[in-house]
Amino acid sequence: MKYQSSRGKYGAVSAAQAITMGISPDGGLFVPDCIPSISTEILKQMESWTYQQRAAYIMQLFLEEFSPEEIKACVNGAYNEKKFDHPEIAPLIELRPGLHIQELWHGPTCAFKDMALQVLPRLLTTSTNKIGETSEIIILVATSGDTGKAALEGFRDVAGTQIIVFFPQHGVSEVQKMQMITQEGNNVHVAGVLGNFDDAQSGVKNIFTSNQVIEQLQQQGMKMSSANSINWGRLLPQIVYYISAYVDLCQRGYIQVGEAINIVVPTGNFGNILAAYYARRMGIPVKRLICAANSNNVLTDFIMTGVYDRNRSFEKTISPSMDILISSNLERLLYELTGHDSQRVSQWMDELKNTGRYTVNELTRSQVQEIFWSDYAADTETLESITRVWDKYHYLLDTHTAVALNVYDKYLQQTGDNSSTVIASTASPFKFGSSVAQAVLSPEQIEGKNEFELLQALAVYTGMVIPEGIKNLDKRKIQHHTVTSAAEMEEVVFSFLGIE
């Protein structure tokens, strides 16, 4: 299997090359040239497999030139009891009959990003060895909060790599910020950007595609790559848990093999839900992929109208990891739905860059609507969902997962479709503890407490344990102090790397 650029001007490359490069030089994203399928027979067999075995099987289909031993080493090094605090890795919880929550946040940084970022560094070093790449790999990351920490944890002290993370200085939660600026490791760099996530992401994209930067790094024996979901090595491990959720539902007798389910994903950059789309293309029976947005509802409008328009004000919400107006991975979906029409995709992406909007053709729009459904939740609705679910089921949702639940309730009401449904739960409630506290604690319990004291109060009230990755964060030593304007990100990169 080869990988092509979605803009059609680069490729075909091997999986190892696509993962090493991260993004295609023509500005496009790497996409597999065909999508393997998984038979009903295999799905049945998987019922008796561990998460690690399922992951190895599925990833092998896309990583043809990796040996089974190499894949096994990547998978077992990532998904084990030292890194994950749940033996099932991505456990499925039944909230009420027909509605299941897949907890994707049992890794070291308490968000679903660990599912991919624990394995990506291993895939990357295996890839560079395979293609004989000897340059030092510089991982550049723009983060809306959770990718940054997960990437830092994944890449810390990985030989042959350095990692640089840019986060919106005023656009992440206190917990998220502390997680990043207290990061230890001898190859890690962190900077706050005076701007929002889109500014940080555009800055990183510009650095990636700047010939001048590429040449200057080359002279130092360095090459850039990406740990954002533009890297195929990020998406692939995410396909695994959707297939695994389906297999779990069959294995526990909630559904018959072949029966269609719905999947609800709280969405920002469209990476996580795109992985669910690939799972569907591989043969997992999925009726609807429900794209849940917060009030930055550019994707909801796109799915309902076929018009993508980022010309709107950027809202800061209590689900900050979804505060995004340019959803990079939509490009891959458009490439798939147009039958790999890279010319058309390039045209839309140019329009997006130049005017901030594009309109897809009728056929693409109707395909999108056949597969996807979308709505959004405002912050007040998100808080209400957290309160309601806690009161009714004694289950504590984080703000992002609560957006998904809120939108799912709207879907149920509007469509009456009561097929079995899986909600991707993307973060531990403690990661966004101060907002969650507002939804479940009384004003007296909240008054006068800072974000970290609120976590403690939340733990006491719910009887839950604060996860290891968040505990005592406020007492750790701050390691990183850099703050930059978006315009000066390139200089910051050079300075971090010790280049004049």
Could you list the residues that contact ligand PLP (CB under 6 A)? Answer: 111, 113, 146, 229, 266-272, 321-322, 400, 426-427
Neighbours of 456 (CB within 10 A): 14
For the CB of residue 30, give the shortest distance to ligand PLP in the complex, in Å. Answer: 17
| Amino acid identity at 224 | M
- Residues 6 or more apart whose CB falls under 8 angstroms from that of 249 comprise 92, 100, 255, 261, 420, 422
Q: How far is CA 86 from CA 101, 155, 190, 468, in A?
A: 15, 22, 29, 13
- Burial-class residue 124 by CB neighbours within 10 Å (0-12, 13-18, 19+): buried
* Minimum CB–partner distance for residue 284 and ligand PLP (Å): 18
**Closest CB to ligand PLP among residues 143, 162:** 143
Closest CA to 318 of 221, 176, 418, 450: 176
Residues 288/316, Cβ–Cβ less than 8 Å: no
Closest to ligand PLP by CB, 133 or 323: 323
Quote the DSSP letter at residue 30. E
Shortest separation between residue 202's beta carbon and ligand PLP, angstroms: 16
Length of the chain equals 500
> In terms of CB distance, is 248 or 398 closer to ligand PLP?
398
Distance of closest approach, residue 105 Cβ to ligand PLP, in angstroms: 8
If the CB atoms of residues 7 and 113 are measured against ligand PLP, the closer one turns out to be: 113
Least separation in angstroms between CB 170 and ligand PLP: 18
Beta-sheet pairing, 92-96 with 99-103:
antiparallel
Q: CB of 267: closest distance to ligand PLP in angstroms?
A: 4
Tokens 């909630």 sit on residue? 254
Considering beta carbons, is residue 231 or 426 the nearer one to ligand PLP?
Answer: 426
**Tokens coding 349:** 């992406």
User: Of the two residues 213 and 324, which places its CB atom closer to ligand PLP in the complex?
Assistant: 324
Q: Number of helices and strands (H, E) in the chain?
A: 22, 16
CB of 450 to ligand PLP, least distance (A): 22
Find all residues with CB under 8 Å of 383, minimum gap 6, and list them: 318, 402, 435, 438, 439
To ligand PLP, the closest distance from the beta carbon of 115 in angstroms equals 11
Smallest gap from Cβ 406 to ligand PLP, in A, equals 14
Name the DSSP class of 434: H
- CB burial of 394-423 (b: ≥16 within 10 Å; e: otherwise) equals ebbbbbbbbbbbbbbbbbbeeeeeeebbbb
* Gap between the Cα atoms of 223 and 141, Å rounded: 14
Q: Dihedral (C-alpha) 101, 121, 148, 175: value to the nearest 10 degrees? A: 60
108 DSSP assignment: T
Q: Cα 206 vs. chain centroid, distance in angstroms?
A: 21
Nearer to ligand PLP, 8 or 429 (CB): 429
User: Between residues 332 and 400, which has the closer beta carbon with respect to ligand PLP?
Assistant: 400
Task: Kindly state the smallest distance separating residue 94's Cβ from ligand PLP, in Å.
Answer: 21
**Eight-state DSSP code of residue 320:** G
CB of 13 or CB of 458, closer to ligand PLP: 458
